[in-house]
Amino acid sequence: MKLNTKYHGIIEYSEKEIINFKKGLPGFENLKKFILFTVEENEIFSILHSIEDSQVGIVVMSPFIVCKDYQFKLEKQQIKELNIKSEKDVIALVTVTLSSNIKNITANLRAPIVVNIKDKIGEQIIIEKEDYKIKYPIFQEE
């Protein structure tokens, strides 16, 4: 199958790559089916792209790239809804806000997207941990 994206050209994908978000994503509740692909120019970023709306692609990345000790705990209900049987079947992603000024590029560590990569089920959750910022600078000066 092919998806003609606004910014990334034509992306080929198969049925088994589709991630289902039963609740959609905040702001995109009506969109349930997404694919995930790496940005060729910069592999720390990926795109979580709707296959139902070719205009909707969300820049995401692993939270562990910016916060080595990043952690959160899923509720029993979330584990059940995501059909998680093993930790190794799960990936966490965080949304990225881009800017032309590299210092203003941020990641939302407060609301990770959790994906069961085995069963292709995803959900964005909210973490109550105050340490995790909604706009966490990705590129910090050493």
User: For the chain, what is the mean pLDDT?
Assistant: 94
Delineate the domains of the chain, giving CATH numbers in brackets: 2-137 (2.30.290.10)
Supply the pLDDT for residue 42: 87
pLDDT above 80: residue 97: yes
Supply the pLDDT for residue 141: 62
pTM score, two decimals?
Answer: 0.94
CA distance 92 to 66: 13
pLDDT above 60: residue 142: no
Contact 46, 17 (CB under 8 A): no
Q: What percent of the chain has pLDDT over 70?
A: 99
Q: What percent of the chain has pLDDT over 90?
A: 89
| Mean pLDDT of the 88-117 span | 96
Q: Which residues contact 91 (CB under 8 A, 6 or more apart)?
A: 62, 114, 115, 117
At residue 103, φ and ψ (nearest 5 deg) are -70, -20
pLDDT above 90: residue 129: no
Supply the pLDDT for residue 130: 82
Cα 132 versus chain centre, distance: 16
Residues 16-51 pLDDT 10s: 999 999 999 999 999 999 999 999 888 899 999 999
Supply the pLDDT for residue 25: 96
